[in-house]
Amino acid sequence: MNPADVAQSALPLASTDVSLITLFLQAHWVVKTVMLGLLACSVWVWAIAIDKMFLYSRTKRAMDRFEQAFWSGQSIEELYRALSAKPTQSMAACFVAAMREWDMDTRELQLDPALATGRVEVTISSGEPAYDILWPCAWDAIAPPARRSDIDLLYHGSLTLRETRSRSALEHIRQGNPPLVFIDVNLRAPWWRREAVLETLHGAHWVKLSAEELAKLAGPALDAPGFLRQHALQGLIVTHGARGAELFRANGERLEVRPPAAPVADTVGAGDAFAAVMILGLLEQWPHGLALQRAQGFASAVVGVRGATVRERAFYRPFVTAWNCAN
């Protein structure tokens, strides 16, 4: 073929418009439909992505504002009232929901932005728990409360003594002479010294401890009634694990309770549950024998559930009803 003829025949092709618009207009209607659908999907995806970016930005700003208010030192009750009408983001909504569920009075709750809430690592060996009390934590740095004159009851454990700041706050509160001081002894190595624990028992009204802890503090020459008299206590509660508990009073009264036969998941939290009901009994002025029975019954129920606490209200409802207590 003559080269000139080839070049002449190629000229119309070179002048043909091959732009995207032209190709689209010349395409079959099926192709046009597919292309328009893809374009619409692309616009839709980008719109969703941009909307999510703005939503994330708004949520982050709201969470930052809530965290700033939460850690500002503002009263938790005031923060609750401010948020309860219309919580506007998830963290605040969870906070309000939890307070509504348990109706907690948190006027003296302290928040520490640097130290975490106390944690305990628990391992179970042969059915018995072993505790690793992690250090440091927020309850090592408790500040003296603003008010101390209207305290009906002071409850604390011996672990409060391990750091100077919390120990000073405890001394500050006790100088206000609370009408009832209940000490729950917890001798967890290496966080206790015999002399410090014995010193804090002076001025206490009620003390709860295990038989093993009593032996460590009292020594072989002093029994439970002697220990009670030595520290001028109103009452002494000695727990014996699966064998129940004993209660000794300054007037010479001795009461004993044994746990009912019940399945045991783990014993973590049993002592705290027992102490909580005994304190309730003291505040409600239950007969001591009745308080001891109810405390043992509640602790026996707690050991039937794995974990130190039970979050479901249904677990507590039978006890509240039987004891005729307010929710």
pTM of the model: 0.70
Burial label, 180 (beta-carbon count in 10 A; 0-12, 13-18, 19+): middle
**What would the two tokens of residue 293 be?**
């029975």
Q: How would DSSP label each residue in 121-136? A: EEEEETTEEEEEE-SS
Q: What is the pLDDT of residue 262?
A: 81
Q: How would DSSP label each residue in 57-74? A: HHHHHHHHHHHHHHTTT-
Residues comprising the chain, all counted: 327
Q: Which CATH number applies to 120-323? A: 3.40.1190.20
Q: Burial code of 195-232, b = ≥16 C-beta within 10 A, e = fewer?
A: eebeebbeebbbbbbbeebbeebbeeeeebeebbeebe
Distance CA 294, CA 311 (A): 20
Q: What is the pLDDT of residue 248?
A: 98
Beta bridge pairs of residue 120: 133
Distance CA 327, CA 325 (A): 6
Rounded to the nearest 5 degrees, what angle is found at the Cα of 229, between the Cα atoms of 225 and 235? 70
Estimate to the nearest angstrom the gap between the alpha carbon of 202 and the chain centroid. Answer: 31
Q: What ranges do the domains of the chain cover?
A: 74-102, 120-323
In the chain (327 residues long), the average pLDDT of successive 10-residue segments reads 53 59 82 89 93 86 73 61 62 67 74 79 76 87 79 91 93 91 94 94 96 94 94 96 94 94 85 95 95 95 85 88 78
